Amino acid sequence: MNPENRETDSKLHIGDTCPVVIIPGERRRRIYADLIDSEEDVSITVDVSDNLALLGVSAVDWAGLASVVVGELHHEGWNLDLLEGFTVERNGVRRGIIITGIILQNEQTVRGQKFRKDAEKLSTLLKRLAVGRAGIISLLNRSSDRVECYQGILEELDRIYYGNIPEGILGPSGQLVLFISSRSDQYLLARKKDDLAWIVKTNHDLVEKVRKKGGVPYYRIRNIRATSEHLTGINIVGYERDISFQKLITTLSVAWPGATVRHQRRYTTADGIVSIRVELTGPNGMSATREELKVVRSYLKKLLVSRGIDRLRTIHHYGGTEHIGRALLPLLIKECRTTGINQAYIAMESTTTFDAELKMLLVTRAVDAADIQEHDGKILTLVRSLSQTKGIGVKSFKSPTRRGDIWVDIFDFVVEREQFFHMEDAYSIVKQAVRESFGEFRDFDQGMRLNDVNMLDTIKQMLPEIPETVTTDFYYSLEDFLRASSPAEELAQHISVAFRTMNELLSCNVGRAVVNCEDVMGRKRSIATLFCVASLRECRHMEALLAIVRDFTVTASIIRWSGAVSVLLRVQRSSRGLPPEESEAILETITKRLNENG
């Protein structure tokens, strides 16, 4: 039986292992005639009938035409059953012709009409693409290079992980795809596949390590060789509030004088973990020597430790944990009542070389009015468990307080630092003891981190005139519970006032200090008055500033940036801002006090 007879016997002829004829000859000829007679640069015809939906495309031939047609249909979700392509010469013009489509089962009218609609979208797209053929070819070539790079890195990762690549690296939202899509072609092509695979692995492993260790920052350093330069690459990962990109760059410039940053990338995960990649080359164009690496590591350790100590010093010196308790307790109670989940917050009260003192606020649900014995039993179990843990001692715990349907407990612990490589290990033991005594609970500090990520994104959109890295550093310098309890609009105002005041100090010859004041407005009235004091030296008279506003409710934040220090005082009286005459008097007193101190 010849092919022509076979076509007339049935509309579709599909063999057991491969199609013999899918497109009937008459329909192929009809589609071809419609396309070849067109004088337009791009012509499209769609034919849906007899269990077959076909798309015919004709265009002045250019490399990549078929890829665009098939790729767009794949993007719309179509798994194509057939594809034919060929070129013809007509009137001195070479045209590419593509016929593709799907088989419709049992007269699937709705599916056929959707295919028609999606196929017809190609007309406008192809007409636009036909104008810039050279650019499209370049893009397709770049896409091919990236796919090849992806495959090469994937093979290296498979070797490194012995065939068990973590799920977080694979998939459309995995580390590998994000890494490829965020790097330039020049970056990817200039580096060896094993170096690129090491970067992907290191980033993934450090992010997971920070999650498991409860926020301890980690870093890795490795020398690599690119096509035309020798580089030292640094990956540093931790909670965004604990790692300042600007301070990192400053630290590296001090640790390795004359080094040049050749590449930098950073991103923040949904749970507030920031990952930074910096690549540098030395003043001689080479990567760091063994001695230089030793110095860089030393400075990085100091940076990560100092961020934590600075944060602790600010909390303890300008408020203390009693202030934290007063500010945080209402938030914990509200969160417990709203979610029905027990809440806990652990804060470091003080630290020395040998030990650290921790305070924990625990807010739990009261089951019924007669559950005091059950609650006391859980508390004693918790205290017994921690007391039996080597390196942790319970210093004191207050009698539980009942607030309606909520229990409030406060504990003080002492941790022997020599027993724990990281303080987060001690935190983990305390949290596990709480979990065993009271069941699942929410680490409120973790809740604050998630809130910080969302809030910071919103504030960055509100302040496009301020560099994002500056907004990030200023945001995490604001007092912790101000961030947790204030709306984005007010926090953006804090950042804007501090940035403007410090810019005024740094850009003009105005002396050693600048003071500004403005109201924080609510819906109908001022809800607070904001004083900002910017100085070119460390604020050694913080107590004097606080004494000026001692008769008011005050929240203090300290921001250090570009050699200047800014103190932000959020001042209230009876939950309102101050009258203009009172604000002016305080402003005058602050200015006078600063001038007296020289």
Given a contact cutoff of 8 angstroms between Cβ atoms, the answer to whether 56 and 66 are in contact is no
Which single residue is written with the structure tokens 């300042």? 244
Residue 598 has pLDDT above 80, yes or no: no
Residue 4 has pLDDT above 50, yes or no: no
Across 447-468, average pLDDT = 87
More confident residue, 553 or 538: 553
The whole-number pLDDT of residue 161 equals 94
Residue 233 has pLDDT above 90, yes or no: yes
Given a contact cutoff of 8 angstroms between Cβ atoms, the answer to whether 545 and 539 are in contact is yes
38 by DSSP, 3-state: which?
Answer: coil
Q: Which residues contact 376 (CB under 8 A, 6 or more apart)?
A: 400
Across 245-267, average pLDDT = 88
Q: Phi and psi dihedrals of 341, rounded to 5? A: -110, 135
The whole-number pLDDT of residue 290 equals 94
The whole-number pLDDT of residue 308 equals 52
The whole-number pLDDT of residue 7 equals 41
Across 566-590, average pLDDT = 91
Share of the chain above pLDDT 90, in %: 29
What 3 state SS string does 453-474 have? HHHHHHHHHHCCCCCHHHHHHH
DSSP class of residue 522? Answer: -
550: tokens are 């001692």
94: tokens are 């070479």
Residue 254 has pLDDT above 90, yes or no: no
What is the DSSP annotation of 117-159? HHHHTHHHHHHHHHHTHHHHHHHHHHHHHHHHHHHHHHHHHHH
Q: Which residues share a beta bridge with 555?
A: 570
Radius of gyration in angstroms for the set of CA atoms belonging to the chain, rounded to a whole number: 33
What ranges do the domains of the chain cover? 3-131, 146-311, 320-439, 463-596
The whole-number pLDDT of residue 506 equals 86
Across 396-425, average pLDDT = 82
The whole-number pLDDT of residue 208 equals 93
Topology of domain 320-439 in CATH is Alpha-Beta Plaits (3.30.70)
500 by DSSP, 3-state: which?
Answer: helix
What are the tens digits of pLDDT across the range 341-394? 899 988 777 766 678 888 888 999 887 656 788 888 888 889 888 888 889 988
The whole-number pLDDT of residue 315 equals 45
Residue (of 581, 586, 591) closest to 571 by Cα position: 586
Going edge to edge, which strands form the sheet with 93-103?
A: 42-49, 52-60, 93-103, 82-90
Distance (Å, rounded) from C-alpha 444 to C-alpha 345? 5
Given a contact cutoff of 8 angstroms between Cβ atoms, the answer to whether 575 and 523 are in contact is no
- Looking at the whole model, is its pTM more than 0.75? no
Distance (Å, rounded) from C-alpha 59 to C-alpha 489? 54
229: tokens are 């330069």
Per-residue confidence band for 13, with pLDDT thresholds at 50, 70 and 90: very low
Least confident interval from 12-16, 49-53, 467-471, 538-542:
12-16
The whole-number pLDDT of residue 402 equals 85
Across 58-62, average pLDDT = 77
Q: Would you call 551 exposed, middle or buried from its count of C-beta atoms within 10 A (0-12, 13-18, 19+)?
A: exposed
Per-residue confidence band for 450, with pLDDT thresholds at 50, 70 and 90: confident
The whole-number pLDDT of residue 127 equals 66
221 by DSSP, 3-state: which?
Answer: strand
Across 539-548, average pLDDT = 72
End-to-end CA distance of the chain: 106
Average model confidence (pLDDT) across the chain: 82
Across 71-89, average pLDDT = 85
The whole-number pLDDT of residue 487 equals 92
Least confident interval from 336-340, 432-436, 478-482, 554-558:
478-482
The whole-number pLDDT of residue 200 equals 96
302 by DSSP, 3-state: which?
Answer: helix
